[in-house]
Chain A
Amino acid sequence: MHSSSHIDLHPIGASLPLRAGIGLKTMHFSQILETLPDVGFFEIHAENYMVDGGPYHHYLTRIRDHYPLSVHGVALSIGGEDQLDMSHLNALRRLLDRYQPESFSEHLAWSSHSDVFLNDLLPLPYTAKTLQRVCDHIDQTQHHLKRKMLLENPATYVEFVESSMSETEFIDEVVNRTGCGLLLDINNVYVSSINHGRDPHNYIKALPLNQVDEIHLAGYHTQADSNGALLLIDHHGAPISNAVWELYDFTLRLTGKVATLIERDNNVPTLHMLATEALIADVHLRNARGDESTPTLLMEQAS
């Protein structure tokens, strides 16, 4: 299955606001409805809501009435050798049909192998063969879901001898061939750059930045490898580091304003703390140039 259609995959009038949003956490459900915090959008992990009923759907339905929504999948295994799991794809379609989110995203990674679910975002080599496979999987996903998806760049700890292209070349080719958008996870850029001795600024400049429709910001924690060199772990359990904020500003100077998620999955703080981190991101966004200020990159996107 080869990608031909860049058209028809773009839902009309549906996009996240150019503001900061936060992850929707169960412990914040009722407080969100009571206080309606001023955040740009909420993001959910798709798989958490692949259940028949109960409080998750009760609260998401009501919260969705008040906020734009991003659905972020973590288990489709787009980078996997196996064929995509049709029951999972169907479950995704039901979820997207039900909540009509402004954005749907998944990862350049794999998480299942031979029917075993490994619950982590695992790395793949970047070769002509894996490129074809990832593009086929994204084509299949976009056609099945009848919408454009965003692909997130990974945080990785090892590289593969067999890789024949860089991660940015791989992503650029995937975006070109499939018409998918890019979810630029700046924490992942920073983590992978430190872990592989790359320059994070050059990495970002090498991406198809005119296709960035969402940004993720998160925290990492630090270890050391066997040489004693810094090894960063993408953990989503800490506040965003200064280095990542700096890289965020660098990115916004190139892209203009982009919807930005404060991602926090471990050591989840109070709703107030998360919303405050989103307000800080909003300040960074306000300082970025807007859509109206002759943005060449955005004009390219429109053409």
Chain B
Amino acid sequence: MSSQEIFAQNLLAKDPIHLEGLKTWNGSDPLLRYAVYRNNVIVSLIDALADTFPVTLALVGGDFFRAMARAFIQEHPPKSRVLAWVGEDFPYFISKFPHAYSLPYLADVAQLEMNRINAYHAADVPTLKINAFNILISKPQILPSLKLKLHPSLSLIHSSHAVFSIWAAHHGKFDFSSIDICEAETALIFRNGLNVETLRVTSAEGYFIQHLLSSMGSIESATNQATLYDSMFDVSGIVTLLIEKQLITKYLEE
């Protein structure tokens, strides 16, 4: 094993083995100095996760969060050299983290936060302005056959818990005590201009958008999907939202 291999392996090890080949000018213990590197590596990575997941941190407290983040980094050392993506697999890790089983919504809240980071850095693709849809006023009958391409920042979280309300409560929008955490919620995450927005939509609206995202199907076929989840699904609200928030990059008439 090369000296760099040994140096590297001990940086993230829970218990560092004896390191050879290091020296100090004054005969002081090289391991104590090596500990500076261990500390820099783990603390900087934990800090990066804390920056990405502020609500997750607030939900469990700093000590728990940092212990969970440390376990994640030690078990899944980061592959990305871009700090923004170091937490990409953290929500999944949380879903399997035994000490967090009593907080079954935690992984979904973390996923919502990761999706917000993804939306923040998503590609800049020109979107259609509201007046591009004037045709729908004169020819409303073409609406069902339109195929919509949506902005790359757009994503969804379908949660069996009140993921949106819990997240929003930490931004002062809801009273946490009034939330029924076992109520399933769907959150829509996207960037509008320079700002990332998170909105609650119905699960049927979520499946409508998911269909558009995954297959670029027509509004009609996406509506059929959504109706499977809610026979009363009304397409107008969600299409209006997509137009108003400028989340459609192009449309094709079938």
Contact = CB atoms under 8 A, between A and B. Distances in A.
A57 B26 CA distance: 47
B34 interface: yes
Interface stretch (A3-11, A219-227, A286-294): A219-227
B111 to A, nearest CB: 19
B24 A88 contact: no
Interface string B20-62: 1111111111101110110011001100100000000000000
A226 B29 CA distance: 6
Contact of B4 (A113, A117, A161, A195): A113
Contacts of B5: 81, 113-114
14 contacts: A54-B124, A56-B121, A75-B81, A80-B4, A113-B4, A116-B79, A117-B78, A119-B83, A120-B40, A158-B30, A158-B34, A159-B22, A226-B29, A231-B33
Interface string A51-67: 11111111000000000
B28 A225 contact: yes
Interface residues of A, number: 47
Nearest to B77: A116
B29 A225 contact: yes
A157 interface: yes
B11 A118 contact: yes
Interface residues of B, number: 49
A227 B30 CA distance: 11
Interface string A34-64: 0000000000000110111111111000000
B79 A115 contact: yes
Given A113-B5, A158-B33, A225-B28, 20 more contacts: A50-B81, A51-B121, A54-B120, A112-B81, A114-B8, A116-B8, A116-B78, A117-B77, A119-B48, A122-B11, A122-B37, A124-B4, A158-B23, A158-B37, A162-B3, A197-B25, A198-B25, A226-B29, A231-B33, A231-B36
A120 B41 contact: yes
A160 B32 CA distance: 15
B194 interface: yes
B147 interface: no
B132 to A, nearest CB: 21
A196 interface: yes
Contacts of A170: none
Q: Which of B48, B82, B119, B125 has the most CB of A within 10 A?
A: B82
B69 to A, nearest CB: 13
Q: Which of B33, B34, B84, B120 has the most CB of A within 10 A?
A: B33
Contact of B36 (A51, A160, A223): A223
A169 interface: no
B200 to A, nearest CB: 23
